[in-house]
Structure 1
């Protein structure tokens, strides 16, 4: 049982001066411009979901920045990566929620957003109790039912709204993957 729950998204942030001139581009073209300009790019370099998404963007652009002097891997979390991007006047891929949490500490702006490839979609899955008899199937089903219920979706849609003036996640239980542009 796999159910769509919510999404947030990844964004490409960078200095307000935007030396690679990526503002408003699609993410693949933005990565091509960063590569061509040699503008500093700060990567998490930690095999996280964000890092995997970044590597997919480089692959889609048919580019490999590894070893380039302008491409720096932090091997750290997103907060530290954003701080380093600010210190080095560089670009970074981040999830919107983390950027909102850190934006008062860094002079970076969202320069690329809104592309379907940048969606970060969350599903809830309850496993087959016959195949996995040791799982708490009833608890899992109760959680899945709640998180996809009207009450659960209202909590998701309001999370972060008071603190950041925008939600950190968007409820999707009433949608399909196709509604989000996913295969």
Structure 2
């Protein structure tokens, strides 16, 4: 609503300026969260962020990128907090002095998606290493995120465990997020590794189906990290600490557990201590 000013009583210029500016508290009570495309594409933040704001008044603005890019944003001091899924990378980030605390928040798992015709016959594979070996032997099209994300890092570890160095025309590194990679896989009738949450929320499967799941090697852990105040004193550390604490609190963990798509729970909270 605009203020109504009488012609014979003009407001001083300073007052007019204050009307044009947003309240300072609105700018202060927000944080930038560097997180993954999987948490964004799955719709999880649509559940968590309103609940957190209702509890604390703090607005969380998400920058959804690959985990590697999220680390770089935080190293530069361009994010107040991290929520990513590469435990080894997260522990290294803290050990290097960029983060001060890391906490397990939730889990889900990776799955292998591919064309329903399953030319590499991975439905019959006993392990994920067997499934990937069959794809490589068949030189069946495989769409890799190729973006240094948590999913891409996991995929690289899985190829290594299978004793396969993927390459050639059948292996396409896209440099894309999870949603675009699934779209490309659908267009190519290609296999790909996806987190289950993004797959369940994906609305353009075309001929793609979930073909392999259940191996313990496909476990996917997400962690929250607080950024070092010593390295980046300009960040909103107090607000970020409230977000971090809420995620692992009973309320935050329950909000994670309550999020479903098509009746299917997509993330499983780590038990709050």
Q: Do they superpose with TM above 0.5? A: yes
Shift of 1:2: 2.8
- Whichever of the two has the greater Rg, that structure is 2
Kindly indicate whether the alpha-carbon contact (under 8 Å) linking 2:115 and 2:209 is maintained by their aligned counterparts in 1: yes
Match of 2:151 in 1: 50
- Contact preservation (8 Å) 2:253, 2:272: no
Structure 2: how far apart are the matches of 1:141 and 1:75? Answer: 32
Gaps of 5+ in 2: 1-100
The runs of at least 4 aligned residues of structure 1 exceeding 6 Å deviation read: none
What's 2:177 paired with? 77
Residue 157 (1) aligns with residue 248 (2):
no
What aligned pairs does 1:47-126 form with structure 2 within 5 A after superposition?
47-66=148-167, 68-126=168-226
Q: Secondary structure at the match of 1:93?
A: strand
Q: What's the counterpart of residue 268 of structure 2?
A: 170
C-alpha deviations, 1:16-56, integer Å up to 9, x for none?
Answer: 22111111532111110101111111111222221111111
Which whole-Å CA distance do the structure 2 matches of 1:80 and 1:141 have between them? 32
Secondary structure in structure 1 of the residue aligned to 2:193 = strand
Report if the CA contact (8 A) 1:82-1:106 is conserved: no
Structure scoring higher RCO (CA < 8 A, sep ≥ 6) equals: 1
Displacement, 1:153? 0.8
Measure the CA separation in 1 of the matches of 2:187 and 2:126. Answer: 24
Alpha-carbon distance in structure 2 between the residues aligned to 1:3 and 1:45: 27
Q: TM-score, normalised by structure 2?
A: 0.57
3-state SS, counterpart of residue 122 of structure 2? coil
Is structure 2 residue 125 aligned with structure 1 residue 27? no
Q: Count residues with an aligned counterpart.
A: 172
Distance 1:69 1:137, change over 3 A: closer
CA shift in 2, pair 1:75/1:126, >3 Å: closer
Structure with more of its chain in strand, by fraction? 2
Report the TM-score, using the length of structure 1 for normalisation: 0.81
CA RMSD of superposed structures (Å) = 2.2
> Equivalent residue for 2:95?
none
Unaligned runs of 5+ in 1: 176-183
Report the CA distance shift for 1:89/1:57 in structure 2 as closer, same or farther (over 3 A): same
**Aligned-partner SS, 1:75:** coil
Contact 1:43/1:71 (8 A) holds in 2: yes
2:114 matched residue in structure 1: 14
- Report the CA distance between 1:129 and its aligned residue: 5.1
CA–CA distance in structure 1, aligned partners of residues 178 and 150 of structure 2: 11
